[in-house]
């Protein structure tokens, strides 16, 4: 075999290798890039889903908050009438409200609701819950129990509100 024949064979071999593998490499790169990036439509669809999650959670939170405030207003309006049912109603509606707030904070921490809703809707509610609502809830229950000699030993334990506290602290 002459050197020129050997060069021709080598050149043909490289042409086949490059010609056969280049499309394969291009296909693989295109496939991988499309899996790790999103189209504008996919990005908008995800943002829409996050906003829908936030809206649904806000609706549930609002309903729980309304029930809670009705229970507190009934206590203020009625005073000592039906003390134990009033106590129980404030306790359960308050817990439902705080439970919904915990779910929202879990969703904020996991990134399942939109950042806009987190910042514009939930931040103030969470801040108020930590600084005002949760402590006042326990104070109100102690007050009612004390007035009527109910055996109540409830105490504010922030460990019961870990996700709320974590979101609150992240906002500081």
Mean pLDDT taken over the chain: 86
> What residues in the chain have per-residue pLDDT under 50?
none
Q: Which of 102, 96, 117, 100 is nearest to 50 (CA)?
A: 117
pLDDT at 129: 97
pLDDT at 141: 93
pLDDT at 165: 97
pLDDT at 7: 66
Q: Using CA atoms, how far apart are residues 135 and 118, in angstroms rounded to an integer? A: 23
Q: Which of 154, 60, 141 is nearest to 107 (CA)?
A: 60
pTM of the full structure:
0.77
CA dihedral for 117, 121, 127, 133, sign (positive or negative): negative
pLDDT at 169: 96
H/E segment holding residue 104: helix 83-110
* Contact status, residue 84 vs residue 143, Cβ threshold 8 Å: no
**What is the tens place of the pLDDT at every residue in 33-79?**
666 677 788 788 888 899 999 999 999 999 999 999 999 998 888 77
């Amino acid at each position: 075999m002459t050197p020129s024949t050997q060069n021709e064979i080598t050149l043909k071999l490289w042409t086949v290798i490059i010609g056969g593998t280049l499309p394969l490499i291009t296909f693989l790169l295109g496939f991988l890039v499309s899996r790790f990036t999103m189209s504008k439509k996919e990005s908008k669809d995800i943002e829409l889903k996050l906003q829908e999650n936030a809206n649904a959670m806000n609706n549930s939170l609002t309903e729980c908050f309304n029930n809670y405030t009705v229970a507190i207003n009934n206590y203020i309006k009625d005073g000592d009438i039906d003390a134990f049912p009033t106590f129980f109603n404030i306790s359960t509606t308050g817990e439902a409200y705080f439970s919904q707030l915990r779910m929202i904070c879990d969703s904020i921490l996991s990134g399942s609701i939109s950042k806009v809703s987190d910042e514009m809707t939930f931040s103030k509610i969470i801040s108020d819950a930590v600084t005002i609502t949760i402590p006042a809830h326990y104070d109100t229950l102690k007050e009612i129990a004390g007035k009527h000699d109910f055996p109540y030993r409830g105490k504010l334990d922030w460990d019961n509100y870990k996700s709320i506290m974590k979101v609150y602290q992240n906002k500081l």
